[in-house]
């Protein structure tokens, strides 16, 4: 075992090291969620802009870019989950009986972060199977979905816009999505503030501002994501 390996092992075994890992990977995921939301909202611009956006994503760096990003995303998500679980177990084993009273001052969401995180992970797997792997649906049926033409692109491209409309037209999928986004944003409302605190940007003077930023960001994310299934399912958008 060389010096670098020993250093990394020592860093990982400390609670401070794990908190920093959780914060850095969490920051990456928070930024990803913002970017993903912006991309998803393009659906409201219509079929051509959304399909052009989807075509660009899947052809970045000759198709390699999307897979590189997915690999980085999975590493960040996996590391975030692993560090969070390890930190939770470490804190639980170190907690003394008389410290229990302090936990009642914490919010419900802060005390259940690990559980909401695991439920979000379950939804992430479902979401990937639904729209990325396209398991147990007809989204890979070329006769139904590879029917759209884009200016400057030869042949037909996958109609991702129709896929989203059809996906959220099925009410169970929309319900699962809305519940998952509610859990995600509850998770973010505490998680964003924790990132600021771990990285040293949350002082006593800035605590109120950080709290407002966390709640505001979470609310914007929630409204943005749930607006899509609600518009499709209840207002007939895209039909």
Which residues does 16 contact at the CB level (< 8 Å), separation at least 6?
none
- Identify the DSSP state of 183: H
- Tens-place pLDDT, residues 35-57: 999 999 999 999 999 999 999 99
pLDDT of residue 102 exceeding 50, the answer is no
Helix axes 15-41, 171-198, angle to 10 degrees: 140
pLDDT confidence band for 178 (50 / 70 / 90): very high
Round to whole Å and give the CA distance between 52 and 228: 18
- Tens-place pLDDT, residues 206-218: 888 999 999 999 9
pLDDT confidence band for 7 (50 / 70 / 90): low
Which pLDDT does position 119 carry in this prediction? 87
Which residues does 164 contact at the CB level (< 8 Å), separation at least 6?
43, 50, 131, 228, 232, 238
Mean pLDDT of 102-110: 52
Which pLDDT does position 111 carry in this prediction? 66
Terminal-residue alpha carbon distance, the chain: 61
Percent of the chain scored above 70 by pLDDT? 87
pTM of structure: 0.86
Round to whole Å and give the CA distance between 100 and 98: 5
Dihedral pair phi/psi, residue 6, rounded to 5°: -65, -40
Q: What is the mean pLDDT of the chain?
A: 87
Q: How many CB atoms lie within 10 A of CB 80?
A: 22
* Ranges 37-46, 55-64, 94-103: which has the least confidence: 94-103
Round to whole Å and give the CA distance between 164 and 42: 11
Round to whole Å and give the CA distance between 57 and 35: 12
Which pLDDT does position 5 carry in this prediction? 67
Mean pLDDT of 64-90: 90
Joined together, the tokens standing for residue 225 give 């994501």
Instruction: Tell me, letter by letter, the H, E, C secondary structure of 117-178.
Output: HHHHHHHHHHHHHHHHCCCCCCCCCHHHHCCECCCCCCCCECCHHHHHHHHHHCHHHHHHHH
**Residue 172 · residue 166 · CB < 8 Å:** no
pLDDT of residue 122 exceeding 50, the answer is yes
């Amino acid at each position: 075992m060389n010096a670098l390996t020993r250093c990394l092992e020592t860093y990982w075994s400390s609670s401070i090291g794990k908190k920093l890992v959780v914060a850095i990977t969490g920051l990456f995921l928070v930024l990803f969620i913002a970017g993903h939301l912006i991309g998803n909202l393009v659906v409201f611009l219509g079929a051509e802009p959304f399909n052009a956006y989807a075509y660009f994503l899947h052809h970045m760096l000759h198709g390699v870019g999307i897979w590189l990003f997915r690999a980085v995303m999975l590493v960040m998500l996996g590391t975030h989950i692993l560090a969070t679980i390890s930190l939770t177990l470490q804190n639980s084993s170190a907690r003394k009986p008389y410290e229990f009273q302090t936990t009642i001052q914490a919010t419900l969401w802060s005390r259940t972060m690990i559980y909401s995180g695991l439920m979000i992970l379950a939804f992430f797997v479902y979401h990937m199977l639904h729209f990325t792997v396209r398991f147990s649906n007809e989204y890979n049926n070329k006769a139904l979905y590879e029917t759209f033409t884009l200016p400057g692109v030869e042949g037909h491209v996958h109609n991702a816009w129709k896929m989203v409309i059809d996906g959220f037209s099925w009410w169970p999928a929309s319900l699962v999505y809305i519940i998952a986004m509610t859990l995600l944003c509850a998770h973010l409302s505490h998680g964003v503030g924790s990132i600021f605190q771990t990285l040293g940007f949350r002082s006593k003077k800035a605590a109120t501002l950080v709290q407002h930023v966390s709640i505001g960001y979470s609310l914007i994310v929630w409204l943005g994501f749930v607006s899509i299934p609600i518009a499709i399912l209840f207002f007939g958008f895209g039909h």
